[in-house]
Amino acid sequence: MSAELLLAPAGALLLGAGLLSVVDGRARQAVLLGAPIIALWLVWQADGSAAPLRYMDLLLTPVRADRLSRWFGTIFAFAAFAAGLFALGQKSRLELVASQAYAGAALGVVFAGDLVTLLVFWEAMAIASTLVIWSAGSQARAAGLRYLLVHLLGGTVLMVGIAGHFAATGQAAFDALGPEAPFRWVILAGVLLNAGAPPLSAWLPDAYPRASYSGMVVLSAFTTKTAVYVLLRAFPGEPLLVWIGLFMAFYGIVYAILENDMRRILAYSIVNQVGFMVAGIGIGTELALNGAASHAFAHILYKALLLMSAGSVLAMTGRSRCTELGGLFQSMPVTTTCGIVGALSISAFPLTSGFVTKSMISDAAAMEGLSLVWLLLAAGSAGVFLHAGIKFPWFVFFQKDSGLRPPDPPPPMRAAMVLVSLPCIGIGVLPEPFYAFLPYNAGFVPYSGGHVIGQLQLLLFSGLAFFLLLGLLKRTETITLDTDWVYRRLGPALAARLVPIVARTWSGTESTLTRLAGRGLNALAFSYRSGSLARTRESGTVALIAIAALTLYLIVGYLSAMR
């Protein structure tokens, strides 16, 4: 193994995770913050010239650096730093170790030059992230196990796909898998599972909110975004992704609107946002891919910010239900401000990061003449504003006064929130330097009159819808102002109408399936517990089984010998 490998970006964080498991006090804080900085430096140093590794009959390229991997590497390293700062006071050593290993594994995926290295880090991510969830304590145990099982299922599918791809082509290189590539559907299914795609999206909102106040910040950054990265690299322009992405976007909205727990709202909103990225990858033009990549970048920032804000509330009050919160702006000004910055960014307000990234995807759809897609993306954007842009800050920080007067969180957490707010605004105000590093060659001008006005109208009307529908979801909605407005009004209105129906049907189906599966497993388990298969048997019985087996062999032996 060559020395260059130790200088891989993943190396710094994995080494940091190792150190964190032994050091304490100041040294621990130094590693927590230092390792991501070194990783960030290495992201720009790595040149991918390390000699290929031989493993079994595979040739591996553990480090491959190009614009796309550096793009994701940069934001991952930054997210690891910010999350580390936010978690500076976290007492659970396991969570800190697992978080840093998790971030390291994510960097490993991003810099993997072959599919087997990818798989190795993919599984490492699954384990490390499960530990992040488990470190939150006993209430996270069952959800963590479910999370792990789903990801192992995904890992299984991915591994079969990669093994099949290798068996068919003799190649393990990690590049675009064209329509004729063998086993691409299997690989795609494995990757999509990590992205939170249907039909197994539920793992994400099920498990993430069980993590600690700081754990969820870490979780939100990596798993789904590495999936986006792999889709960008391997499946650009796969038309199916457009519809999967749109489904995810609406799935996230529907459930987020129904949800009461603030962190579950934000978890559903991850599915929703990743849906936009997946749809962008499906459109597949350079502009759309740039949109997906930059939206992933921006999303990591504002989702981390939103979750830090929600995490601060949770850490200071111990509550996370919207109905138990409210009026916190009076005593938590920093948290409130940062939460609002995050909310504006996720809603793609002009002058925030979300605006300059998401508009790329919808513009790409428009340029490709995909008017239905464009329409649905616009309706989806309105939905985002409803659930994450207004609902979260409104219910948590304003609304009725819950009587709680918690102070702002300790300095490191505040510093982390401010640190992440800066690029959320900065990218929105000055997008050009940000665009200069985009992985694909497609220019884009976000601040044209049409964009800004269109987006503002969209936000205004969905904001209006929110307050109108607040408390009276049954209200009928008829006024149409202009044909141009139909979908913009209709989006949120229809959403509000259809939400309960769709959600009820969906969760009904889901729970029926779960119940059936559970019953089958129970029956099987029962046969074990009550002993028919795992019981100690009489020796005579086993001898009889042996005789039966002998008879079987004899019969099939004779039958085949007669042929």
Partner 1 sequence: MIADHLPALQVAIPLLAAGICAMLRRSVPAWALATATSLVAAAISAWLLARAASGGPISYRLGSWEPPWGIEYRVDEANALLLLLVAGIGAVVMPYARRSVAREIAEESHPWFYASYLLCLTGLLGMSITADAFNVFVFMEVASLSSYVLIALGRDRKALFAAYQYLILGTVGATFFIIGVGFLYVVTGTLNMVDLAARLATVEDVRPVVVGIAFLSVGLGLKLALFPLHYWLPNAYAYAPTVGTAFLAATATKVAIYLLLRFFFTVLGPSFPFAASPIPAIWIALSVAAIILASIAAIHQAGIKRMLAYSSVAQIGYITLGIGIGSEAGLTGAIVHLFNHAVMKGALFLLVGGAILRGGDMNIDALGGLARRMPATFAGIVIAGLSLIGVPGTVGFVGKWLLASAAIEQGQLWLAFAIVGASALAVVYVWRIVEAACFRPPSTEEFAEMPISMLMPAWILTALCIYFGLDTSLTVEVAGRAAALLIGGAAT
Measured CA distances, 503 to 168, 204, 258, 512 (Å): 42, 17, 9, 14
- Answer for which of 119, 241, 287, 298 binds partner 1 (CB under 8 A) is 119
Residue whose pair of structure tokens reads 């290189």 in the numeric block? 173
- The stretch among 288-296, 328-336, 467-475, 547-555 that binds partner 1 (CB under 8 A) is 547-555
| Shortest distance (Å) from residue 314 CB to partner 1 | 22
- Determine the distance from the C-alpha atom of residue 557 to the mean position of all C-alpha atoms in its chain, rounded to a whole number: 55
Q: How far is the CB of 167 from partner 1 (least distance, A)?
A: 5
* Per-residue interface string for the shown chain with partner 1, residues 383-412, x marking contact by CB under 8 A: ------------------------------
As a whole number of angstroms, the distance between CA 423 and CA 540 comes to 75
Residue 107's alpha-carbon distances to 64, 233, 423, 509, in angstroms, are 11, 15, 21, 37
189 binds partner 1, rule: CB under 8 A: no
Q: If binding is defined by CB under 8 A, does position 559 make contact with partner 1?
A: yes
- Rounded to a whole number, what is the distance in angstroms from the first to the last CA of the chain? 55
C-alpha count within 13 angstroms, C-beta hemisphere, residue 90: 32
Q: Which stretch binds partner 1 (CB under 8 A): 151-159, 252-260, 401-409, 457-465?
A: 151-159
Helical residues (DSSP H) of 22-138, grouped into ranges: 25-45, 67-86, 93-110, 115-134
Among 3, 24, 25, 138, binds partner 1 (CB under 8 A): 138
Which residue in the set 27, 30, 66, 141 belongs to the binding site for partner 1 (CB under 8 A)? 141
Among 149, 445, 473, 486, binds partner 1 (CB under 8 A): 149
**Tokens 């990818």 map to which residue?**
118
Give Cβ neighbours of residue 292 (< 8 Å, ≥ 6 apart): 228, 232, 276, 277, 278, 280, 281, 361
Can you say whether residue 46 is alpha, beta or left, with left for phi > 0 and alpha for psi between -120 and 50 degrees?
Answer: beta
Cβ proximity to partner 1, 467 vs 526, nearer residue: 526
How many angstroms separate the Cα of 186 from the Cα of each of 182, 192, 284?
A: 9, 10, 20
Query: Which C-beta is closer to partner 1: that of 230 or that of 270?
Result: 230
Does 554 contact partner 1 by CB under 8 A?
yes
Could you say which DSSP state residue 407 is in?
Answer: P
Amino acid, res. 553 = Y
- Alpha carbon dihedral 558, 560, 562, 563, in 10-degree steps, equals 170
Output 134 or 268, the one with its CB closest to partner 1: 134
In this structure, the number of other CB atoms found within 10 A of the CB of residue 330 comes to 12
Which part of the chain contacts partner 1 (CB under 8 A), choosing from 148-156, 270-278, 361-369, 401-409? 148-156
State the binding string over 507-546 for partner 1 (x if CB under 8 A, else -): -----------------xx--xx---xx-xx-x-xxx-xx
Q: Does 550 sit near partner 1 (CB under 8 A)? A: yes
Minimum distance from residue 515 beta carbon to partner 1 (Å): 19
Q: Which of 55, 243, 398, 485 binds partner 1 (CB under 8 A)?
A: 55
Nearer to partner 1, 118 or 375 (CB): 118
Contacting range for partner 1; rule: CB under 8 A; set: 144-152, 354-362, 396-404, 414-422: 144-152
Give the interface size with partner 1 as a residue count (CB under 8 A). 49
Which listed residue (6, 51, 167, 456) binds partner 1 by CB under 8 A?
Answer: 167
Query: 445, 417, 420: which is closest to 313 by C-alpha?
Result: 417
Cβ proximity to partner 1, 155 vs 446, nearer residue: 155
Residue 58 host element (H or E): strand 58-60
**Burial level of 478, CB count in 10 A (0-12/13-18/19+)?**
exposed
Place of tokens 């918690």: 406
The residue ranges that bind partner 1 (CB under 8 A) are 55-56, 116, 119-120, 123-124, 127, 138, 141, 145, 148-149, 152-153, 156-157, 159-160, 163-164, 166-168, 524-525, 528-529, 533-534, 536-537, 539, 541-543, 545-546, 549-550, 552-554, 556-561
